[in-house]
């Protein structure tokens, strides 16, 4: 028995180099469809006829494009802040439900609706809050006129539609952290004379802090990169950065390719920064679990 | 709660949901159901843009929707795209994840990086990069390029359930047991490992199916009108005919609900995982 183990170890060592070959198919796909295109995108954004320069970036940032970035960042900030806060309190309401059946059903609902988005969702919001939508008509009948002051086909309309997938995503992200918030801590704090506000300010929020922040980054990125929902709901009228980049790919606007690359690279780094922030903070958040 | 040391009123008070809880949960249910429910009703309403309640009901729009030119083609294109992506994904992800688990634990960090990367790349940026790099090559602006792009974008959804399922069985012991009985690694994978992780495989496949079937951005920006899928048709009709667009939306929602509920059901039964993951919308 001993000798067979040694033999297999020996052959394993010999095969070590061969073992890595098994990774090749995945690596080829990843490199071919992800790494090389992105690297070439970055390098092409810095190259001009004169050589390496920031010219593309200088030219790309017209006032119109600056406004697109500003709109995208604002939209992402608003939907991330609202998504984090609403998702957090709804998640807390769900977790403190005593009825297990209701709790499981609500978690399942959040789980499913996280994946809803894109074109059908955008259309659902037109049916609900469009100029002749259900809520619009109901409010009209009681004398509240949404239109023309509010439009679902605008940036604030987009925020309402984005929250549809941001809130359940936040619930799913924060549930593990909320489950880790031990009942004993709450009881100990109350027994020592703290009120619920003091508990949250001194214990709850500081412990959940890293989870809340890391979720914020994911929600921000989720909103910043969104395109299908925005395009279906508002068409080319709303000036956000993903719509701008998409219209450059589809050749609707005459513009040098280097400029589109510059916009894409800036967006890419904003999102990568968010994903990096998420990874960093979520590893910190894990300290309080288990 | 048969034995109650506290007074019954105190216990009741503790178990009764509080007002703030009811309000928040009602808000959540309302927000999540109203748009979808409205779309379902709109799709069978004769007319619903002047009165609070629909003026009448009809299935006419489903007939028109399914008769619409491109309906069968776009459904077929969506199925081709999602099924071939699932196939590519299964063939590449299962052996790789299995191999890394059993033979190459060192590569686990590489795998983790590869699987988080797609979340860091916005779909419009990936589309722009792919269109530029492959412009002028044989696969430039072809369905092959689209399948590659969609595979990359959906691969974390296949990876996670399969990886979870592999962790929940002792893959290494099973492999060694199989090999000591004279089976080759391939035989062990096909006859021992795959049957044991099939809930993860089915969950992953359903997640990829739901994701790719609803995919809009990559399809539109890489192929556009040349390869019209179901979501592209839906968006086109939101500008042409609201009633038919509603029927298309209902079909999309129903497919998404069915896939998600199946995943949850499989997850309840055994291994499997939450569907939760960052998404491109």
Which of A36, A90, A122 shows the shortest C-beta gap to B133?
Answer: A36
**Cβ contact B34–A123 (<8 Å):** no
- Give the integer Cα–Cα distance in Å for B165 and B193: 10
| pLDDT per position as a tens digit, B37-86 | 999 999 998 888 888 888 888 888 888 888 877 899 999 999 999 999 99
| pLDDT(B14) > 80 | no
Contacts of A108 in chain B (CB under 8 A): 264
Contacts of B257 in chain A (CB under 8 A): 112
Q: Give me the interface pTM, i.e. the ipTM.
A: 0.86
B49–A contact, CB cutoff 8 A: yes
Q: How high is the pLDDT of residue A81?
A: 97
Q: How high is the pLDDT of residue A13?
A: 54
Which of A22, A109, A261 shows the shortest C-beta gap to B99?
Answer: A22
Q: How high is the pLDDT of residue B150?
A: 94
Q: How high is the pLDDT of residue B16?
A: 67
The residue ranges of every structural domain in chain A are 1-53, 54-288
| Residue A121: count of CB within 10 angstroms of its CB | 27
**Which of A118, A183, A216 best tests the B interface by mutation, with the highest count of B CBs <10 A?**
A118
Contacts of A25 in chain B (CB under 8 A): 91-92, 95-96
Q: How high is the pLDDT of residue A290?
A: 46
Which of B32, B38, B132 shows the shortest C-beta gap to A257?
Answer: B132
**Cβ contact B50–A132 (<8 Å):** yes
Find out whether A184 and A100 touch, Cβ atoms under 8 Å: no
* % of chain A residues with pLDDT over 70: 91
Among A210-224, B239-253, B265-279, the minimum mean pLDDT is found in B265-279
Place of tokens 């995982």: B273
Contacts of A225 in chain B (CB under 8 A): 122-125, 280
| pLDDT(B2) > 60 | no
Q: Which segments of chain A have a pLDDT < 50?
A: 1-7, 10, 290
A240 burial type by CB count under 10 A (0-12 exposed, 13-18 middle, 19+ buried): buried
Contacts of A248 in chain B (CB under 8 A): 128
Q: At what angle do helices B71-102 and B198-213 cross, to 10 degrees?
A: 140
**Cβ contact A227–B280 (<8 Å):** yes
**Cβ contact B279–A26 (<8 Å):** no
Find out whether B165 and B269 touch, Cβ atoms under 8 Å: no
**Cβ contact B110–A38 (<8 Å):** no
Structure tokens at B222: 């890489």
Q: Which domains are assigned to chain B? A: 16-58 (no CATH), 75-269 (1.10.3720.10)
DSSP A255: -
Could you give the C-alpha distances from A4 to A1, A183, A268, B26, in angstroms and in order? 5, 53, 52, 64
**Cβ contact B235–A232 (<8 Å):** yes
Find out whether B170 and B230 touch, Cβ atoms under 8 Å: no
Contacts of B38 in chain A (CB under 8 A): 124, 127-128, 133-134
Q: How high is the pLDDT of residue A191?
A: 85
pLDDT (mean) for B111-140: 88
Give the minimum alpha-carbon distance from A80 to chain B in angstroms, rounded to a whole number.
13
Angle subtended at Cα A252 by Cα B73 and Cα A75, rounded to the nearest 5 degrees = 90
- Give the integer Cα–Cα distance in Å for B18 and A93: 9
Q: How high is the pLDDT of residue A169?
A: 93
| pLDDT(B5) > 70 | no
**Cβ contact B127–A249 (<8 Å):** yes
**Cβ contact B279–A133 (<8 Å):** no
Q: How high is the pLDDT of residue B13?
A: 44
**Cβ contact B152–A249 (<8 Å):** no
**Cβ contact B257–A112 (<8 Å):** yes
- B173 Cβ contact list (under 8 Å, min separation 6): none
Q: How high is the pLDDT of residue B278?
A: 47
| pLDDT per position as a tens digit, B78-117 | 999 999 999 999 999 999 999 898 888 888 888 888 888 8
Beta bridge mates, B57:
B45
| pLDDT per position as a tens digit, A216-259 | 999 999 999 999 999 999 888 889 999 999 988 876 555 567 88
pLDDT level of residue B15 (50, 70, 90 thresholds) = low
| pLDDT(B195) > 60 | yes
**Cβ contact B133–A141 (<8 Å):** no
- A86 Cβ contact list (under 8 Å, min separation 6): A163, A167, A170
Could you please state the CATH topology (level 3) that the domain comprising A54-288 is classified under: MetI-like fold (1.10.3720)
Residues 244-263 of B with CB under 8 A from A: 245-246, 248-249, 252-253, 256-257, 260-261
Q: How high is the pLDDT of residue B11?
A: 40
């Amino acid at each position: 028995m001993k000798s067979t183990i040694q033999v297999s170890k020996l052959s394993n060592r010999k095969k070590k180099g061969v073992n890595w070959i098994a990774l090749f198919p995945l690596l080829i796909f990843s490199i071919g469809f992800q790494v090389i295109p992105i690297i070439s995108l970055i390098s092409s954004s810095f190259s001009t006829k004169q050589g390496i320069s920031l010219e593309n970036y200088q030219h790309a940032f017209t006032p119109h494009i600056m406004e697109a970035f500003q709109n995208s960042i604002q939209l992402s900030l608003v939907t991330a802040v609202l998504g984090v806060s609403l998702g957090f309190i709804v998640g807390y309401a769900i977790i403190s439900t005593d009825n297990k059946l209701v709790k499981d059903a609500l978690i399942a609902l959040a789980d499913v609706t996280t994946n809803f988005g894109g074109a059908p969702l955008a259309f659902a919001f037109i049916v609900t809050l469009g100029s002749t939508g259900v809520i619009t008509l109901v409010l009209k009948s009681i004398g509240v006129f949404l239109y023309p002051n509010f439009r679902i086909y605008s940036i604030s309309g987009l925020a309402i539609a984005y929250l549809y997938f941001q809130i359940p995503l936040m619930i799913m992200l924060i549930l593990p952290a909320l489950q880790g918030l031990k009942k004993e801590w709450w009881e100990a704090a109350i027994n020592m004379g703290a009120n619920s506000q003091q508990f949250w300010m001194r214990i709850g929020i500081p412990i959940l802090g890293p989870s809340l922040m890391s979720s914020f980054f994911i929600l921000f990125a989720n909103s910043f990169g969104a395109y299908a929902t925005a395009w279906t709901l508002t068409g080319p009228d709303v000036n956000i950065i993903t719509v701008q980049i998409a219209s450059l790919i589809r050749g609707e606007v005459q513009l040098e390719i280097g400029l589109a690359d510059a916009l894409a690279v800036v967006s890419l780094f904003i999102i990568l920064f968010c994903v990096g922030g998420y990874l960093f903070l979520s590893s910190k958040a894990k300290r309080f679990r288990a | 709660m048969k034995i109650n040391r506290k007074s019954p009123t105190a216990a009741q008070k503790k178990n009764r949901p509080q007002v703030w809880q009811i309000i928040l949960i009602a808000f959540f249910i309302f927000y999540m159901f109203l748009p979808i429910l409205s779309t379902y009703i709109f799709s069978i309403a004769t007319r619903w843009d002047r009165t609070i309640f629909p003026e009448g009901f009809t299935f006419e729009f489903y007939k028109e929707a399914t008769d619409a030119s491109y309906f069968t083609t776009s459904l077929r294109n969506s199925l081709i795209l999602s099924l071939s992506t699932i196939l590519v994904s299964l063939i590449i992800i299962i052996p790789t994840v299995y191999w890394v688990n059993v033979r190459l634990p060192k590569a686990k960090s590489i795998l983790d990086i590869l699987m988080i990367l797609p979340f860091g790349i916005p779909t419009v940026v990936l589309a722009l990069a792919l269109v530029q790099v492959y412009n002028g090559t044989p696969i430039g602006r072809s369905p092959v390029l689209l399948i590659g792009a969609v595979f990359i974008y959906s691969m974390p959804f296949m990876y996670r359930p399969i990886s979870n399922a592999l962790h929940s069985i002792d893959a290494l012991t099973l492999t060694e047991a199989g090999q000591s009985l004279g089976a080759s690694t391939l035989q062990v994978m096909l006859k021992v490992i795959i049957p044991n992780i099939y809930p993860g495989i089915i969950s992953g496949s359903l997640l990829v199916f739901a994701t790719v079937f609803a995919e809009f951005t990559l399809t539109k920006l890489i192929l556009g009108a040349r390869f019209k899928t179901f979501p592209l048709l839906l968006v086109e009709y939101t500008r042409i005919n609201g009633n038919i667009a509603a029927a298309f939306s209902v079909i999309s929602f129903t497919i998404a609900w069915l896939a998600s509920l199946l995943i949850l059901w499989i997850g309840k039964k055994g291994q499997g995982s939450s569907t939760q993951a960052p998404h491109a919308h």
